[in-house]
Amino acid sequence: MDYETPQFFRVMQYAQRADRDVVDMVSGNPDWEPPQALREGLRTYADGEPAEFQYPDSVGLRELREEIATRRGVDIEQVIVTNGAGEANHLAMAESLEQMSGDEVLLVDPVYPYYAGRAEMLHADIRFVPATDRGGLDPADVYEQISEDTAAVVINSPNNPLGVTYDAETVHELVAAAEEHDAMLVSDEVYDHFDYSGRFESALSVDSPNRIVTNSFSKSMAITGFRVGYAIFPHPDGPNGGLMDGARSRHMLTNVTSSRPAQAAVLHALRNTDPSYYEANRDLLRERIDAFTDALDAAGAEYTEPEGAFYVMARFPGFEGTMDNVERLIDEAGIAGMPGEAFSDTRREWMRFALVTPRVGEAADRLAAFFDAR
Amino acid sequence: MDYETPQFFRVMQYAQRADRDVVDMVSGNPDWEPPQALREGLRTYADGEPAEFQYPDSVGLRELREEIATRRGVDIEQVIVTNGAGEANHLAMAESLEQMSGDEVLLVDPVYPYYAGRAEMLHADIRFVPATDRGGLDPADVYEQISEDTAAVVINSPNNPLGVTYDAETVHELVAAAEEHDAMLVSDEVYDHFDYSGRFESALSVDSPNRIVTNSFSKSMAITGFRVGYAIFPHPDGPNGGLMDGARSRHMLTNVTSSRPAQAAVLHALRNTDPSYYEANRDLLRERIDAFTDALDAAGAEYTEPEGAFYVMARFPGFEGTMDNVERLIDEAGIAGMPGEAFSDTRREWMRFALVTPRVGEAADRLAAFFDAR
Report CB contact under 8 Å: A257, B27: no
CB B81 within 8 Å of CB B263: yes
Tens-binned pLDDT, residue by residue, of chain B (374 aa):
455 456 777 898 899 999 999 999 998 899 999 999 999 999 999 999 999 999 999 999 999 999 999 999 999 999 999 999 999 999 999 999 999 999 999 999 999 999 999 999 999 999 999 999 999 999 999 999 999 999 999 999 999 999 999 999 999 999 999 999 999 999 999 999 999 999 999 999 999 999 999 999 999 999 999 999 999 999 999 999 999 999 999 999 999 999 999 999 999 999 999 999 999 999 999 999 999 999 999 999 999 999 999 999 999 999 999 999 999 999 999 999 999 999 999 999 999 999 999 999 999 999 999 998 88
Q: What share of chain A is helix, strand, coil (3-state, %, to 5)?
A: 45, 15, 40
Closest CA to A262 of A64, A30, A88, A68: A64
Q: Check residue B51 and report its DSSP letter.
A: G
CB B170 within 8 Å of CB B136: yes
pLDDT tens digits, one per residue of A334-370 = 999 999 999 999 999 999 999 999 999 999 999 999 9
How close A119 comes to chain B (CA, Å)?
9
B258 half-sphere exposure, CB direction, 13 A CA radius: 35
Report CB contact under 8 Å: A87, B253: no
CB A293 within 8 Å of CB A303: yes
A56 shares contact with chain B (CB less than 8 Å): yes
A123 shares contact with chain B (CB less than 8 Å): no
DSSP annotation string for B139-161: HHHHHHH--TTEEEEEEESS-TT
Size of interface A-B (CB pairs under 8 A): 180
Residue B225 with chain A: CB contacts under 8 Å: 52-56, 257, 259-261
Q: Check residue A214 and report its DSSP letter.
A: E
Q: Residue A169 is which amino acid?
A: E
Task: Outline where DSSP puts E strands in B103-194.
Answer: 104-109, 125-130, 150-156, 184-188
A256 shares contact with chain B (CB less than 8 Å): yes
CB A223 within 8 Å of CB A217: yes
How close A225 comes to chain B (CA, Å)?
4
Nearest CA in chain B to A50: B33
Q: Residue B260 is which amino acid?
A: R
Q: Which residues of B289-311 are buried (b: 16+ CB within 10 A; e: fewer)?
A: bebbbebbeebebebbebbbbbb
Tens-binned pLDDT, residue by residue, of chain A (374 aa):
455 456 777 898 899 999 999 999 998 899 999 999 999 999 999 999 999 999 999 999 999 999 999 999 999 999 999 999 999 999 999 999 999 999 999 999 999 999 999 999 999 999 999 999 999 999 999 999 999 999 999 999 999 999 999 999 999 999 999 999 999 999 999 999 999 999 999 999 999 999 999 999 999 999 999 999 999 999 999 999 999 999 999 999 999 999 999 999 999 999 999 999 999 999 999 999 999 999 999 999 999 999 999 999 999 999 999 999 999 999 999 999 999 999 999 999 999 999 999 999 999 999 999 998 88
Report CB contact under 8 Å: B261, A258: no
A27 shares contact with chain B (CB less than 8 Å): yes
How close B17 comes to chain A (CA, Å)?
18
How close A145 comes to chain B (CA, Å)?
25
B261 shares contact with chain A (CB less than 8 Å): yes
* DSSP H or E run through B312: strand B311-315
CB A310 within 8 Å of CB A355: yes
Examine residue B158 and say whether the peptide bond preceding it is cis (omega within 30 degrees of 0): yes
The whole-angstrom separation of Cα B9 and Cα A346 is 50
pLDDT tens digits, one per residue of A209-262 = 999 999 999 999 999 999 999 999 999 999 999 999 999 999 999 999 999 999
A262 shares contact with chain B (CB less than 8 Å): yes
Residue B114 with chain A: CB contacts under 8 Å: 252-253, 256
Closest CA to B38 of A296, A329, A21, A53: A53
The whole-angstrom separation of Cα A243 and Cα B92 is 25
Write the CB contacts of B153 (distance below 8 Å, at least 6 apart in sequence): B105, B106, B142, B146, B174, B177, B178, B183, B184, B185, B186
Residue A262 with chain B: CB contacts under 8 Å: 259, 261-262
The whole-angstrom separation of Cα B222 and Cα B161 is 18
A8 shares contact with chain B (CB less than 8 Å): no
A197 shares contact with chain B (CB less than 8 Å): no
Residues in chain B: 374
How close B242 comes to chain A (CA, Å)?
13
**Distance from first CA to last CA of chain A, Å, rounded?**
31
Going along chain A from its start, the domains and CATH numbers come out as 7-34+275-372 (3.90.1150.10), 55-272 (3.40.640.10)
B56 shares contact with chain A (CB less than 8 Å): yes
The strand pair at B79-82 and B229-232 is best described as antiparallel
